[in-house]
A and B are shown apart, each in its own frame.
Chain A
Amino acid sequence: MKLWINGKEADVPWRNLYDAVRSPQDGGYTDQVVILNGYQTRENLPLSENDEIIVIRKGEMPGKDELEQMLRARHTPGVYEKIRHARVAIAGLGGLGSNIAVSLARMGVGHLHLIDFDEVEPSNLNRQQYRLCHLGLPKTEALQKEIAEINPFVCVRTDCVRLTEENAASILQDDMVICEAFDCPEAKAMLVNTVLAECPGKVVVAASGMAGYGSGNTIHTRKVMKNLYLCGDEETPAQPGRGLMAPRVMICAGHQANMVLRVLLGELDE
């Protein structure tokens, strides 16, 4: 039977997973993680032709090729192949954008275009994917470094610039899907209007309403226009006494990242 073991083809007579890796009784699984076709398991699952098995030794830093195989192993088969060549722009790298970017990088979206004009400061740390070591850095650079530590196989392009009506279409020209992840409502409207009017065929995944600590269940994703999806509760602005907090901002960013994935996979909601 032909199997793929840590990315290498092997012709072996095995029938079940314990033929390939040591069973728990033999001390396996204490020092290793086993992934069969994207699914982490400890069971003695039956094997079929062309199955992909990844065995990761805990605590060991793998080489670059091996690492790529290991990261790929956790991507759901069929999904990674479709998203590895995708180009997604993230406009605004605050609470929404930094969390969206990290999610997409973890999934293995091939090309991320990070856009923000600002730098990391302490008030960002309550909800954004930055750490003390990033203070003072441009957000584009800080997030690029962070992504390189999570999934070094993602191609990251950065633009430390303020998107405007004048420059947005040209800066975003290579990107298929654009995440609107700004803070200010006028900037949100500007970006959505500019991309929808000037860039036919591009899809925008925008956000509105995620401040405070109201129920997370009010945050939703909705197709609102031909090429526009909107995530959020659509009504709760940040204001004095009702700030932006990690949980709801991350729920909303999760909605946006998931909608980006669905768009890339052709799962277009109505």
Chain B
Amino acid sequence: MVRINGKEEAAAGKTIAGVLREKGYQAERVAVERNGNIVPKAAFGDVCVEDGDVLEIVGFVGGG
């Protein structure tokens, strides 16, 4: 299981890009932290989440 934004989910083996797509996030508008480290956007397609990972995804909406 992978803990995504505080919720346990069966996402092990998926890429970060895959997780973002499934959850409806746009890759250009997020910051992703995996086990306490920021994941560079360029690596979203390569990094696979593993069992026991903790993922924090922050999506930004417009306005300021």
> Nearest chain A CB to B46's CB is how many angstroms away?
15
Decide if B24 is an interface residue (CB 8 Å cutoff).
Answer: no
Q: Write the A164-190 contact mask toward B (1 if CB under 8 angstroms, else 0).
A: 000000000000000001111110110
Q: For B64, give its contact among A196, A226, A230, A244 (CB under 8 Å).
A: A244
The answer to whether B61 touches A209, judged by C-beta atoms less than 8 angstroms apart, is: yes
Q: Are B61 and A235 in contact (CB under 8 A)?
A: yes
Please state if A189 and B64 are interface contacts (CB–CB under 8 Å): no
Main secondary structure of the interface of B (DSSP, over half): mixed
> Is B52 among interface residues, defined by CB-CB distance under 8 A?
no
In Å, the complex CA distance between A228 and B61 comes to 16
Q: How far is the CA of A183 from the CA of B60 in the complex (A)?
A: 10
B29 within 8 A of A: yes
Point out the residues of chain B lying under 8 angstroms from A238, CB to CB: 62-63
Count of A-B contacts judged by CB separation below 8 Å: 84
Complex CA distance for A234 and B57, rounded to whole angstroms: 12
Q: Does B13 contact A (CB under 8 A)?
A: no
Instruction: Decide: A208 and B31 in contact? CB cutoff 8 A.
Output: no
Chain B residues with Cβ under 8 A from A236's Cβ? 61, 63
Number of interface residues of A (CB under 8 A): 37
Kindly list chain B residues whose C-beta atoms are within 8 Å of the C-beta of A226.
33, 36
Q: By the criterion CB–CB under 8 Å, are B31 and A183 in contact?
A: no
Contact A96 B64 (CB under 8 A): yes
Give which listed residue, B26, B31, B63, B64, contacts A192 with CB less than 8 A: B31
Which of B30, B40, B58, B62 is within 8 Å of A197, CB to CB?
B40
18 new A-B contacts at CB < 8 Å, known A196-B38, A225-B38, A225-B56: A95-B63, A95-B64, A96-B64, A186-B28, A189-B29, A193-B31, A193-B41, A196-B31, A208-B60, A211-B63, A224-B56, A225-B31, A226-B33, A228-B33, A228-B58, A236-B63, A238-B62, A244-B63
- Can you name 12 A-B residue pairings with CB atoms under 8 Å? A95-B63, A186-B28, A188-B64, A189-B31, A192-B31, A193-B41, A196-B31, A206-B60, A228-B58, A232-B61, A234-B59, A244-B63
> CB within 8 Å of A: which residues of B?
26, 28-31, 33, 36, 38, 40-41, 56, 58-64
